[in-house]
Amino acid sequence: MSERLLSEFELIHRFFTGRDRGPGIALGVGDDCSLLAPRRGQELAVSVDTMVCGTHFFEDQPAAAVGHKALAAALSDLAAMGAEPLGALLALTLPRVDTDWLQEFAAGWGALAEQLRVPLIGGDTTRGPLAISVTVLGQVPAGAALRRTGAQPGNLVVVSGSLGGAFAGLQLEQQRRAARREPPAVEDSRCKRFFRPEPRLALGRTLRGRTRTAIDLSDGLLADLGHVCTASGCGARLSADDLPRDPLLADWPSGPSLAAALSGGDDYELLFAWPARQRGELRPLAAALQLPLTVIGEFVEGGGIQVLDASGTPIPLAQRGFDHFRPD
User: What does pLDDT average to in each consecutive run of 10 residues of the chain (328 residues)?
Assistant: 51 66 76 84 95 92 95 98 95 91 94 95 90 97 96 98 96 87 73 95 97 97 97 98 97 94 95 97 98 98 94 83 46
**Is 60 annotated to bind ligand?**
no
Nearest to 266 by CA among 95, 55, 117: 55
**Is 266 annotated to bind ligand?**
yes
Same structural domain for residues 94 and 28? yes
Domain extent, residue 53, equals: 3-141
Same structural domain for residues 100 and 41? yes
**Is 100 annotated to bind ligand?**
no
Look at residue 33 in the predicted model and tell me its pLDDT: 84
Q: Note the Cα 8 to chain centre separation in Å.
A: 29
Look at residue 179 in the predicted model and tell me its pLDDT: 85
Distances (CA, A) of 250 to 122, 245, 317: 43, 8, 21
Look at residue 319 in the predicted model and tell me its pLDDT: 57
**Is 47 annotated to bind ligand?**
yes
Contact 302, 249 (CB under 8 A): no
Same structural domain for residues 166 and 111? no
Examine residue 25 and state whether it is found in any structural domain, yes or no.
yes
The CATH number of the domain where 241 resides is what?
Answer: 3.90.650.10
Look at residue 153 in the predicted model and tell me its pLDDT: 98
Three-class SS state of 94:
strand
Examine residue 130 and state whether it is found in any structural domain, yes or no.
yes
Burial of 215 (0-12, 13-18, 19+ CB in 10 A): buried
Same structural domain for residues 173 and 301? yes
Same structural domain for residues 163 and 249? yes
Nearest to 222 by CA among 267, 172, 155: 267
Nearest to 70 by CA among 35, 10, 33, 112: 112
Same structural domain for residues 274 and 181? yes
Question: Considering 141, 175, 207, which residue would you say is the last residue of a domain?
Answer: 141
**Is 219 annotated to bind ligand?**
yes
Same structural domain for residues 129 and 162? no
Same structural domain for residues 170 and 111? no
Same structural domain for residues 128 and 162? no
312: region left, alpha or beta (phi > 0 left; psi from -120 to 50 alpha):
left
Question: Considering 115, 141, 167, which residue would you say is the last residue of a domain?
Answer: 141
Look at residue 2 in the predicted model and tell me its pLDDT: 41
Q: Phi and psi at residue 296, in whole multiples of 5°?
A: -115, 0
Nearest to 137 by CA among 119, 125, 116: 119
Same structural domain for residues 227 and 277? yes
**Is 309 annotated to bind ligand?**
no
**Is 77 annotated to bind ligand?**
yes
Q: How far apart are CA 283 and CA 285, in angstroms?
A: 5
Look at residue 20 in the predicted model and tell me its pLDDT: 65
Examine residue 149 and state whether it is found in any structural domain, yes or no.
no
Which pTM value belongs to this model?
A: 0.90
Same structural domain for residues 105 and 247? no
Look at residue 10 in the predicted model and tell me its pLDDT: 65
**Is 22 annotated to bind ligand?**
no
Look at residue 328 in the predicted model and tell me its pLDDT: 47
